[in-house]
């Protein structure tokens, strides 16, 4: 299962492919990363993966179900192989489109030629996630998704303009882990991956083809698609060889470190805790008002977004309730119509029951729109904001490191001075040379620390302004889609009640 090496276009390319899934000492890429992030890839030996045991057998057995086009949502498969259970997404799901607007004009300010190229490349690449298929049975089963990439041939990133691969959820998590460990510390906002859900997956594994597990799969598929789209739209991330490999290569080394209870998982948890403590203890002299302002801004945004998200989730819940209660009322009204002995009234009541049934479906659709268009996207943004905050924290860490090195340098210099004034001539020359060496090294490190800090500050500024623009775009599209769905619902309601009115008037 050797992965093919990518061309050296990426600027972070000093890593070794993992030859064997059992060999788990991947080299980390260059750059100061002693304080590995929460998704660091260190592990010490083969890990047991309880959901991937039979993986190798079935990896080859996954048949790609033939579809007319990647745009089809409903799975049609004739005669699936016994190991595969295709999943039909709920029919009443309103699939939101992460369609992005055409924009043929963009304003120039002063920016790098290279960055413009990068951004135009990024905007032209499209990724879609489709065809969820259950592979395997029982607790060893997992969902495999088809990932299709479309890129204009002008961008020399991929071999073909259009291609697809099959990936499973842990692959996505592995990708995020790699990207985060490479880029977060440099100040890039790496889009977060969808969350694991043990409950949801267990239901799917157990094999119940009920609407709730279908909904779960659909929800996850969309989340994965949004995640990939956000990632490929980041001009720097797009060039990353790990990402390219993820999108292109037919075989991917299994990401075992994504297991919650593995060694890597525990390490992640420890790191998270350490980070939390650090956050509380590091007090940085913020010289740049921009950062302070932005940080405050993001805190407020986070708090409010969470509130909106909570209200939207409550709305989804109540709309579903409304839909159910309306259905029950419809049945009850039908019964009432049956027992009414005045014929015209009886008919009108039955009509009312029918109208209410149709309303129930509208409410159901509206609940789905609320959920998929609003709730999920808001949830994404809450997590994205967490990534943004993480990036700010990285900057603080970089500053801390720089300061620490500076302090160390100062101490060494003091030691040197002391040495000058001490009276031990025999050790003196050697010690003086040693110290001089150390001081030179430290001076270099201090300069590097400062450069790093400034670099990360610059990157963050760019990232934040890009993030803000993306946000505006995303939210506008999201709300407009939601409104269009709403308008449709209202129009349907008009139709139903207009049909009912003459029936009601006909009661004599």
Considering the rule CB under 8 A, would residue 198 count as an interface residue with another protein?
A: no
| Residue from 16, 20, 202, 480 in contact with another protein (CB under 8 A) | 480
Considering the rule CB under 8 A, would residue 486 count as an interface residue with another protein?
A: yes
Considering the rule CB under 8 A, would residue 349 count as an interface residue with another protein?
A: yes
Q: How many CB atoms lie within 10 A of CB 108?
A: 6
Which residue number, 21 or 124, has a Cβ lying nearer to another protein?
124
| Residue from 81, 328, 422, 447 in contact with another protein (CB under 8 A) | 328
Beta carbon of residue 384, minimum distance to another protein (angstroms, whole number): 14
Considering the rule CB under 8 A, would residue 314 count as an interface residue with another protein?
A: yes
Candidate segments 20-28, 177-185, 209-217, 472-480, binder of another protein by CB under 8 A: 472-480
Spatial separation of the C-alpha atoms in residues 503 and 492, rounded to whole Å: 18
Tell me which DSSP letter residue 352 carries: H
Which residue number, 154 or 480, has a Cβ lying nearer to another protein?
480
- State the Cα angle at 182 between 233 and 239, rounded to 5°: 35
347-to-329, 333, 372, 493, 502 alpha-carbon distances in Å: 16, 11, 38, 20, 12
Beta carbon of residue 459, minimum distance to another protein (angstroms, whole number): 10
Please give the residues from 44 up to 63 whose contact with another protein meets the rule CB under 8 A: none
Please give the residues from 102 up to 161 whose contact with another protein meets the rule CB under 8 A: 102-107, 109-112, 115-116, 119-120, 122-128, 148, 150
Q: How deeply is 232 buried, as exposed, middle or buried, from its count of CB atoms within 10 A (0-12, 13-18, 19+)?
A: buried
Please give the residues from 217 up to 256 whose contact with another protein meets the rule CB under 8 A: 229, 233, 235
N residues, the chain = 508
Which residue number, 69 or 287, has a Cβ lying nearer to another protein?
69
Please give the residues from 254 up to 293 whose contact with another protein meets the rule CB under 8 A: none
Given a contact cutoff of 8 angstroms between Cβ atoms, the answer to whether 272 and 184 are in contact is no
| Residue from 315, 382, 415, 419 in contact with another protein (CB under 8 A) | 315
| Residue from 26, 70, 86, 265 in contact with another protein (CB under 8 A) | 70
Which residue number, 235 or 241, has a Cβ lying nearer to another protein?
235
Beta carbon of residue 467, minimum distance to another protein (angstroms, whole number): 10
Spatial separation of the C-alpha atoms in residues 138 and 382, rounded to whole Å: 34
Given a contact cutoff of 8 angstroms between Cβ atoms, the answer to whether 208 and 238 are in contact is no
250-to-4, 60, 164, 264, 492 alpha-carbon distances in Å: 10, 11, 8, 25, 46
Beta carbon of residue 291, minimum distance to another protein (angstroms, whole number): 16
Which residue number, 342 or 418, has a Cβ lying nearer to another protein?
342
Spatial separation of the C-alpha atoms in residues 268 and 346, rounded to whole Å: 66
What distance lies between CA 323 and its chain's CA centroid? 31
DSSP-based helix, strand, coil % in the chain, nearest 5: 60, 5, 30
Which residue number, 33 or 100, has a Cβ lying nearer to another protein?
100
Considering the rule CB under 8 A, would residue 469 count as an interface residue with another protein?
A: yes
Considering the rule CB under 8 A, would residue 477 count as an interface residue with another protein?
A: yes
Candidate segments 39-47, 241-249, 280-288, 496-504, binder of another protein by CB under 8 A: 496-504
HEC readout, 257-299 = HHCCCCHHHHHHHHHHHHHHHHHHHCCCCCCCHHHHHHHHHHH
Considering the rule CB under 8 A, would residue 71 count as an interface residue with another protein?
A: yes
Which residue number, 61 or 67, has a Cβ lying nearer to another protein?
67
Spatial separation of the C-alpha atoms in residues 356 and 337, rounded to whole Å: 13
Instruction: Return the bridge partners of 128, or none.
Output: 148
Spatial separation of the C-alpha atoms in residues 386 and 236, rounded to whole Å: 20
Considering the rule CB under 8 A, would residue 348 count as an interface residue with another protein?
A: yes
Spatial separation of the C-alpha atoms in residues 117 and 123, rounded to whole Å: 10
Which residue number, 18 or 352, has a Cβ lying nearer to another protein?
352
Beta carbon of residue 375, minimum distance to another protein (angstroms, whole number): 11
Candidate segments 26-34, 60-68, 94-102, 245-253, binder of another protein by CB under 8 A: 94-102
Beta carbon of residue 361, minimum distance to another protein (angstroms, whole number): 14
| Residue from 274, 276, 417, 479 in contact with another protein (CB under 8 A) | 479
Which residue number, 201 or 375, has a Cβ lying nearer to another protein?
375
Spatial separation of the C-alpha atoms in residues 8 and 4, rounded to whole Å: 12
Which residue number, 201 or 459, has a Cβ lying nearer to another protein?
459
Candidate segments 96-104, 182-190, 246-254, 281-289, binder of another protein by CB under 8 A: 96-104
Q: How deeply is 70 buried, as exposed, middle or buried, from its count of CB atoms within 10 A (0-12, 13-18, 19+)?
A: middle
498-to-236, 329, 351 alpha-carbon distances in Å: 55, 20, 12
Considering the rule CB under 8 A, would residue 336 count as an interface residue with another protein?
A: yes
Considering the rule CB under 8 A, would residue 365 count as an interface residue with another protein?
A: no
Beta carbon of residue 195, minimum distance to another protein (angstroms, whole number): 23
Beta carbon of residue 280, minimum distance to another protein (angstroms, whole number): 25
Number of residues engaging another protein in binding (CB under 8 A): 101
Given a contact cutoff of 8 angstroms between Cβ atoms, the answer to whether 393 and 275 are in contact is yes
Which residue number, 126 or 193, has a Cβ lying nearer to another protein?
126
Spatial separation of the C-alpha atoms in residues 271 and 258, rounded to whole Å: 15
């Amino acid at each position: 299962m050797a992965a093919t090496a990518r061309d050296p276009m990426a600027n972070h390319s000093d890593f070794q492919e993992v030859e064997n899934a059992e060999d788990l000492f991947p080299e980390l890429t260059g750059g100061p990363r002693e304080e590995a992030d929460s998704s660091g890839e260190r592990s010490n030996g083969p890990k047991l993966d309880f959901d991937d045991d039979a993986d190798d057998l079935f990896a080859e057995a996954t048949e790609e179900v033939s579809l007319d086009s990647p745009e089809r949502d409903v799975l049609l498969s004739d005669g699936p192989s016994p190991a595969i259970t295709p999943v039909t997404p709920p029919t009443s799901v309103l699939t939101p489109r992460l369609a992005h607007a055409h924009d043929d004009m963009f304003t120039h300010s002063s920016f790098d030629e290279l960055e413009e190229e990068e951004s135009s490349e990024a905007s032209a690449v499209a990724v879609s996630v489709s065809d969820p298929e259950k592979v395997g049975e029982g607790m060893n089963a997992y969902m495999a998704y088809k990932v299709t990439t479309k890129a204009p041939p002008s961008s020399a990133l991929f071999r073909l303009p259009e291609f697809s691969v099959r990936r499973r959820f842990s692959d996505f998590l592995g990708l995020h882990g790699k990207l985060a460990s490479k880029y977060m510390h440099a100040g890039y906002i790496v889009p977060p991956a969808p969350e694991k859900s043990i409950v949801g997956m267990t239901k799917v594994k157990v094999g119940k083809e009920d609407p709730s597990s279908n909904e779960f799969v659909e929800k996850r598929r969309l989340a994965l698609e949004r995640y990939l789209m956000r990632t490929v739209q980041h001009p720097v991330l797009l060039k990353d060889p790990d990402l390219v490999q993820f999108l292109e290569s037919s075989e991917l080394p299994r990401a075992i470190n994504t297991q919650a209870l593995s060694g890597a998982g525990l390490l992640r948890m420890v790191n998270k805790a350490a980070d939390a403590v650090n956050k509380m203890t590091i007090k940085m002299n913020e010289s740049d008002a921009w950062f302070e302002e932005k940080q405050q801004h993001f805190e407020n945004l986070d708090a409010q977004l969470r509130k909106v998200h909570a209200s939207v989730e409550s709305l989804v819940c109540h709309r579903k309730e409304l839909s159910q209660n309306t259905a029950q009322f419809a049945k009850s009204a039908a019964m009432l119509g049956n027992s009414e002995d005045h014929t015209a009234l009886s008919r009108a009541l039955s009509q009312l029951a029918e109208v209410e049934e149709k309303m129930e479906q509208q409410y159901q659709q509206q609940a789905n729109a609320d959920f998929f268009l609003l709730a999920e996207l808001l949830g994404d943004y809450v997590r994205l904001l967490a990534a943004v905050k993480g990036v700010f924290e990285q900057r603080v860490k970089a500053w801390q490191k720089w300061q620490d090195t500076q302090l160390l340098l100062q101490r060494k210099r003091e030691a040197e001075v002391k040495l000058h004034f001490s009276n031990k001539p025999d050790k003196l020359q050697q010690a003086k040379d040693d110290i001089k060496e150390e001081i030179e090294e430290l001076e270099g490190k201090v300069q590097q620390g400062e450069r790093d800090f400034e670099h990360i500050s610059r990157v963050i500024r760019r990232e934040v302004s890009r993030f803000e623009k993306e946000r505006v775009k995303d939210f506008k599209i999201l709300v407009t889609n939601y409104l269009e769905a709403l308008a449709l619902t209202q129009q349907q309601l008009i139709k139903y009640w207009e049909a009912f009115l003459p029936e009601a008037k006909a009661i004599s």
